[in-house]
Structure 1
Amino acid sequence: MSAVRHGFERGAKAAARFTGHPLCFGLAVAVVLAWVISGPLFGFSDTWQLVINTGTTIVTFLMVFLIQNSQNRDAAAVQIKLDELIRATESAENSLLDLEELDEEALERFRAHYEELACKARELLDKAEAGGAGRSDRP
């Protein structure tokens, strides 16, 4: 892994931890309050308004990338964990491993297959309930 990428990942993780902390929120509120309080000092000028608009736009722009990086890491970790559960379960269908890498058409075929299995399972359950003299384990 390159030094730049490693540095970015470390920085992104640290920034995500910091920005998700209550202290960071408090800091943001303090900045906004300082801006509001300074309004009369600057006569509520266009420049005074531009400062907060520019600042919030820049922070929002950078946070989009930070949030996306965090979500990508979380999603990848969840997929790996799910793949391991599928792999470790004897009766599981190993063809479902790494499913998120398939194209939409292949995903639709899998979805249709499992929808059909679910319908058959519900039909069997309904038949069993009908034969069980009104007894039901379903809510």
Structure 2
Amino acid sequence: MKHASKPDSTSFFGRMAEGITKFSGSTAAFIAAAGLVLVWALTGPLFHYSETWQLVINTGTTIITFLMVFLIQRAQNKDSLVLHLKLNELLAATQGASNRLINAQDFSEEEIKTLHDFYCILADLAKKDNDLGKTHTVEEAEDNHSEKLAAHGE
């Protein structure tokens, strides 16, 4: 049986991006950046605070910021996907959990709002109970919601 490859760890770009992302969040990276700014500031009198002197820091920080936005987004996308996978595993493995929520990140905004409304009803049911150990289901919330609509003639 062929194992799935790990694209991030085998590709040059994946390894490079992972390394830069880890380093950029480190104390050493902050100290290096702060040191670079300090050296730049201290050289101001040497260059008579010229436009070129200012352009060096502006250009450098703009380029670094531009590239870091993509690396940060890449890392966040990966972290988000991993989190979704872990939550999906918990949902799939937990008896009584609603499998409807597996891959909820792919739902439309309308579907998410509908689920949110149901969970708000569950929260309301839980607030009304004095028994903190009692649980409610989405189905109970749906029944409650249907009863409310019927009572209001909707």
Whether TM-score is above 0.5 comes out as yes
Aligned twin of 1:14 = 19
Q: Give 1:10 shift.
A: 1.7
* Higher relative contact order (CA closer than 8 Å, sequence separation 6+): 1
Q: Give 1:7 shift.
A: 2.6
Q: Is 1:48 the equivalent of 2:53?
A: yes
Q: Which runs of structure 2 are paired with 1:100-115 in the superposition (5 Å)? A: 100-115=105-120
- CA RMSD in angstroms comes to 1.9
Sequence identity (%): 44
Q: 1:37 aligns with which of 21, 37, 42?
A: 42
Q: 1:78 aligns with which of 76, 83, 94?
A: 83
**What is the one-letter code of the residue matched to 1:62?**
L
Question: Deviations 1:79-119 (Å, cap 9, x if unpaired)?
Answer: 11011111110110111100000110011111111111221
Q: Where does the alignment leave 5 or more consecutive residues of structure 2 unmatched?
A: 132-154
Distance 1:100 1:51 in 2: 42
Distance 2:11 2:123 in 1: 44
TM-score by length of 1: 0.83
Distance 1:20 1:123 in 2: 45
Q: Give 1:124 shift.
A: 2.7
